[in-house]
Structure 1
Amino acid sequence: MADTAGRVRELEFDLETVLATARERDDRCLLRGAGRTEFHRRLRADVRLDGGPGPRLGGRCKGGQQDQALGRSRGGFSTKIHLKTDFSGLPLAFVLTGGEAGDSPQFETLLDLGPDVRPRAAVTDKGYDSKRNRAAARVRGIAPIIPYKANAKKRPVFFPKALYRTRARIEQTFGKLKRFKRIALRCEKTKASFAAFVPLALAFILIKSVHTA
């Protein structure tokens, strides 16, 4: 028993020497809480080499829903996809915003996105009804096929209803897009991840449409 106690005592001295050396070399900077003021307490065999609980490495950066294309609307906490298609309903470009964002402010952005081809007409729903959007389309040489709201003043007598019916094709494209669970439920946490899955789903829709045409 005496011999065993002596060996335990030697191990304790060796451990104290190692911990003292680690303290002199400041190896604790490699652990949690690096660069912060530490409370140097008396070293013991169970020393944790930190001054208390702290965040993980890089944890000082704030997270949250800022700039993640998330917002609360009537339908709940969601993301809105503003989609641009051609006359056949094939996807060309899209913009992501929070669910509370309106459609009208994204009109000019959608006009400038996609292939470098100037369309002859822009067919939208009433959500894009505004004088600014119509003027922006005409400046680009595009005929705005945008219905007027019921409370709009000075509504024109003629409206191309036959051409407006083709808007159903983009609604059908949206219906196909919502079949993808990761898109319909916004399973991705960040905007970058979600923006990567949306074109992938649109590519599947485009490939299937080309092969079945």
Structure 2
Amino acid sequence: MGRRGRLYDRPRSPACRRGPSKGAPAGEPDDHALGRSRGGLTTKIHLAADSRCRPLAFVITPGQAGDAPAFIQVMDRVRVPRPVGRPRTTPDVVLADKAYSSRAIRISLRRRRIRAVIPQPADQIANRKKRGRSGGRPPVFDREAYKQRNTVERCINKLKQWRGLATHYDKTATIYLAGLHLAAIFIWSAR
């Protein structure tokens, strides 16, 4: 006989000891924004930064997710601060790398009257030239303005100075995103 007079004839299986299986917490993606990439389980940070390397908007996705699908979400969250008045939702120019070179992104930016400085990858150039006159004109690309694109990389570098963000200690995406917002607050207040 066991404690309190109960009879234990055999140990219970681990499946019986657990309660009902739970899904992701409310507002949390099923994968917790974790995905496989070359480095293992990772989370990708998509962000917009201003010219002073300060973050303007964040979106996090699993590590294997592409860059272009998150672009519209990031642009919808951008708020460019002004000295007086409400923040603007349309920056003057968007500098992005070749991963963001797609017709849908260029059309979206053109609709919002935002100048795009995005280089075309070699395969897109070859496809346009192969089509001849029906391939259309190449998109305008400003090499001098593109030299400032490193501000995004420097902003990510500032964020990764926080050890918890660099090593991704947090299990859930909401807590990781909250850590990004805290780091952004400190970057903005450091001026």
Asked if TM exceeds 0.5, the reply is yes
1:46 aligns with 2:5: yes
Q: Deviations over 1:127-155 (max 9, x none)?
A: 11111100010011111111111222237
Q: Check 1:100–1:48 CA distance in 2 against 1; reply closer, same or farther (3 A cut).
A: farther
How does the TM-score come out when normalised to structure 1? 0.69
**1:68 aligned residue:** 32
1:77 aligns with 2:57: no
Cα displacement (A) at 1:47: 0.9
Residues 50 and 56 in structure 2, CA contact (< 8 A), matched pair in contact too: yes
How many Å separate the matches in 1 of 2:139 and 2:4?
89
Matched, 1:197 2:179: yes
Distance in 1 (alpha carbons) for counterparts of 2:41 and 2:106: 31
Give structure 2 stretches of 5+ with no counterpart: 80-86, 129-136
* Change in CA separation of 1:52 and 1:73 when aligned onto 2, cut-off 3 Å: closer
Change (3 A) 1:55 1:167: same
Q: Which amino acid aligns with 1:81?
A: I
Task: Determine which structure has more spread, i.e. the larger CA radius of gyration.
Answer: 1
Contact preservation (8 Å) 2:35, 2:41: yes
Partner of 2:158: 176
Q: Which moved more, 1:93-102 or 1:187-196?
A: 187-196
Q: Which segments of structure 1 move beyond 4 Å, counting only runs of 4 or more? A: none
Deviation, 1:52, is 4.4
Number of matched residues?
A: 165
Matched position secondary structure for 1:127: helix
Aligned equivalents of 1:48, 1:111: Cα separation in 2: 64
Segment of structure 1 superposing worse, 96-105 or 80-89: 80-89
> Is the partner of 2:124 in helix, strand or coil?
coil
| Equivalent position of 2:168 in the other structure | 186
Identity of counterpart residues, as a percentage?
36
The 1:100–1:157 alpha-carbon spacing in structure 2 relative to 1, beyond 3 Å, is closer
> Residue 78 of structure 1: SS of its match in structure 2?
strand
Of the candidates 97, 101, 111, which is equivalent to residue 125 of structure 1?
97
Equivalent of 1:110 in 57, 74, 77: 74
- Tell me the C-alpha RMSD between the 2 structures: 2.6
Counterparts of 1:110 and 1:188 in 2: how far apart (Å)?
22
Normalising by the residue count of structure 2, what TM-score does the alignment of the two structures yield? Answer: 0.76
Name 1:135's counterpart in structure 2. Answer: 107
Query: Which residue matches 1:16?
Result: none
Deviation at 1:200, TM superposition (A): 0.7
From 62, 65, 76, the counterpart of 1:101: 65
Counterpart-to-counterpart distance in 1, 2:3 and 2:111: 77
Matched position secondary structure for 1:151: helix
Give me the whole-angstrom Cα distance separating, in 1, the residues matched to 2:92 and 2:5.
Answer: 76
